[in-house]
Amino acid sequence: MQGNITLGFYVPGQSFIHRLDPRTKILACLAMTMAVLFCNHPAGFAALSLVTLLALGLARVTPQLLLGILRPFGIFLVLALLLQLLFTPGRPLMMLGPLQLTREGVHFGFQLLWRLVLLIISGSLLTLTTSPLMITAALEDLLKPFRRVGVPVFELAMMMSIALRFVPTLLEEAQQIIRAQQSRGAAFTRGRLVQRVQGLVTLLVPLFASAFRRADELATAMEIRCYRPGANRTRMHQLRFHCRDYAVLAGTGVLFLIVLVMRWWG
Amino acid sequence: MRLSVKEMVLVSMFAALTAVGAFIKIPIPYVPFTLQFLFVLFAGLLLDKRLAFLSQVTYLALGLAGLPIFAQGGGPAYVLQPTFGYLVGFALGAYVIGAVVERVREKGIPGYFLASMAGLVVVYVLGVIHLYIILNYVVQKPFTLAQAVWFGAIVCAPGDLFLSLVASLVGGRVYKTLQSVNPVHREVF
C-alpha cells in the first residue's frame, strides 16, 4: 500500500479510456461483467477476450501492471483451477497417484479460469483509469433515481468523499500513535492476552479522541459555510457525455446482446 | 432518511476508521487478523444504528470504487473474493449491534458484549453464505455447508471474539466520556 492511498489503483493518464466519462466506464464495466457471466459459447468468449484486449491496449496497461492486478486473486484463481482439474469426473487423460486428470476437468478448469480473469480485468480497468473521486461523482449521478425511494444518494457521495479525504490522515495518525505507545512500552504483538488488550486500548483512546475532534471541527466548518445535506449542489467539473462515450456504450451494449442471443438461441 | 451535517461527518469518520483498521494487523498465534471488525463493533456500539449501517455502506462503496482498503485490496472485482460476504455482513452487523445495544446499554459490559455477539453472528452468517455461493456456483465445487461454516466461521472466531471483548470493555467508557466531556455530541448519540 505504498504511494498515495486516496488514488487507490488509479494510474493517471491521458489514454482513450482515461478520457471517457466515468459513468460510461461504470456502465460498460457492468455490461462486460454480465456478458462474461452469461457467456457459454466459445465464439462469445473469443469476442469478449478481444474486446478486453482492445480495452487494455487503449488504456495503455503494461503487462507488469496486469500481473499486479491479478496477484491478489492468485490463490483464489489457482485453487479454482486445481479443484476443477482434479475433481471433475469424466474421460481420464492421465493419472496422478490417486487423482486423475480428465478431459472435462481440463475443459471446465480453463474455462472457469478464463472467465474469472476476464471479470477481474474488466473490473480493474475501471479503477485503473478512474480516480475514486470521479467514481464517486459518477455513482452519485447514476444512483440519482434511488432518491425517490429514500436512499440518501447525495449524502452518501459526500460521505464517501469525506472518508476518502480522512483515510490517509487517520492512517498516519494511527501509525504515529502505535510508535509512540510502543516507545512507552505498550505491547501490541507480544505478551499475554491482557497485555495485548491494554496495548490496543492505548491505541484506541487517542485515535478516537482525534477522530472525534476532527469530525467536530469539520462539521462546524461545513455548517458555517451553510452546507445543507441533500441539497442540489453544483460541481466544479460537470460530467458530460461525448461522442466517444455514446460509441463505447453502444459497442458494449451490442456485445452484451450478442452474448445473450448466443446463450438462448445459439 | 434525513441526516444532519454532524451525523454525516461522523459516518465518514467511522468509514475511514474501518479502512484504517484493515491496515493494522495484529499477529495472534495461528490466525493473524486485522482491526476492521473492531471498528465495525465501535460503529455499532457508539453510533445510532442507522448511522452505523451507513458508515459501513460508505466503507464498502469506497472499497468497491477502487480504494485498496479491504484486507486484500479493493475494486469491483473484489466481489469475487470468497471473503467479500463478511464486508456486506459488516454493514448489517453494525446495524444489528446498534439496534441491540440501544436496549441493553444500561446493563454495562455484558450488554455491550451481547450486542457484539449478535453483530458477530450476522457477519458470520453473511460471510458463510457468500463463501458457500462462491465455492459452489463460481468455483463450481460442491462444498457442504458444514465445511463452509468450519472455514468461514469457526477458524476465525478466536480473533473476532477477542475484538468483541476489547470493544465491550472499551465501548462503554468511550460512550460515557463522549457524553460527559463533549456536550456537542449529545444530539447525535
Residue in the structure block whose three cell numbers are 459452489:
B136
Give A 195-254 residues with CB within 8 A of chain B: 196-197, 200-201, 203-205, 207-208, 211-212, 214-216, 218-219, 222-223, 227, 229-230
A158 lies in some domain: no
Question: Could you tell me the three cell numbers for A184?
Answer: 512507552
Give A 69-128 residues with CB within 8 A of chain B: 72-73, 76, 79-80, 83-84, 87, 108, 112, 116, 119-120, 123-124, 126-127
Chain A contact probe: residue of B12, B50, B151 with most A CBs at under 10 A? B12
Pair (A222, A133) in one structural domain? no
Q: What is the structure's pLDDT at B75?
A: 83
Q: What is the structure's pLDDT at B44?
A: 93
Give the pLDDT confidence of A78-124 residue by residue, as tens digits: 888 888 887 777 777 777 666 777 888 888 888 889 999 999 999 88
Pair (A146, A78) in one structural domain? yes
Pair (A181, A67) in one structural domain? no
Question: Could you tell me the three cell numbers for A19?
Answer: 478520457
A67 lies in some domain: yes
CB contact, 8 Å: A158 with chain B?
yes
Please list the residues that pair with B5 across neighbouring strands: none
Pair (A148, A188) in one structural domain? no
Pair (A59, A130) in one structural domain? yes
Q: Is the dihedral of CA B88, B155, B163, A183 positive or negative?
A: negative
A9 lies in some domain: yes
Pair (A147, A196) in one structural domain? no
Mean pLDDT of A209-228: 90
Pair (A106, A72) in one structural domain? yes
Chain A contact probe: residue of B9, B59, B140, B182 with most A CBs at under 10 A? B9
Pair (A178, A74) in one structural domain? no
Q: Do residue A229 and residue B24 have CB atoms under 8 angstroms apart?
A: no
Which domain covers residue A208, as residue numbers?
165-229
- The candidate with the shortest Cα–Cα distance to A134, out of A107, A160, A167, A97, is A160
Tally of domains in chain A? 2
- The candidate with the shortest Cα–Cα distance to A8, out of A74, A98, A91, A68, is A68
ipTM field: 0.87
Residue B90 has pLDDT above 90, yes or no: yes
What is the interface size between A and B, counted as CB pairs within 8 Å?
A: 191
Residue B186 has pLDDT above 60, yes or no: no
Using pLDDT thresholds of 50, 70 and 90, give the confidence band for residue A1.
very low
Pair (A174, A243) in one structural domain? no
Out of A107-111, A189-193, A243-247, B32-36, the most confident range is A243-247
Is residue A16 within 8 Å of residue A85, measured between CB atoms? no
Give B 7-26 residues with CB within 8 A of chain A: 8-13, 15-17, 19-20, 23-24, 26
Of the two residues A180 and B159, the one the predictor is more confident about is A180
pLDDT averaged over chain A?
87
Pair (A60, A123) in one structural domain? yes
**Domains defined for chain B, CATH in brackets:** 5-181 (1.10.1760.20)
User: Alpha-carbon distance A76 to B131, whole Å?
Assistant: 12
End-to-end CA distance of chain A: 45
Pair (A219, A110) in one structural domain? no
Residue A190 has pLDDT above 90, yes or no: no
Using pLDDT thresholds of 50, 70 and 90, give the confidence band for residue B29.
low
Pair (A148, A181) in one structural domain? no
A234 lies in some domain: no
A172 lies in some domain: yes
Give the pLDDT confidence of A192-218 residue by residue, as tens digits: 777 777 888 888 888 988 898 899 899
User: Alpha-carbon distance A140 to A144, whole Å?
Assistant: 6
C-alpha distances out from residue B182 to A24, A227, B175, Å? 46, 23, 11
User: Alpha-carbon distance A64 to A125, whole Å?
Assistant: 14
Give the pLDDT confidence of A11-53 residue by residue, as tens digits: 888 999 999 999 999 999 999 999 998 888 888 899 999 999 9
Please list the residues that pair with A100 across neighbouring strands: A95
Distance to chain B for A208, nearest Cα, Å = 8
Phi, psi (deg, nearest 5) at residue A9: -90, 0
β-bridge pairing A92-96 and A99-102: antiparallel
User: Alpha-carbon distance B158 to B124, whole Å?
Assistant: 13
Q: Which of A163, A171, A215 sits opposite B23 (nearest CB)?
A: A171
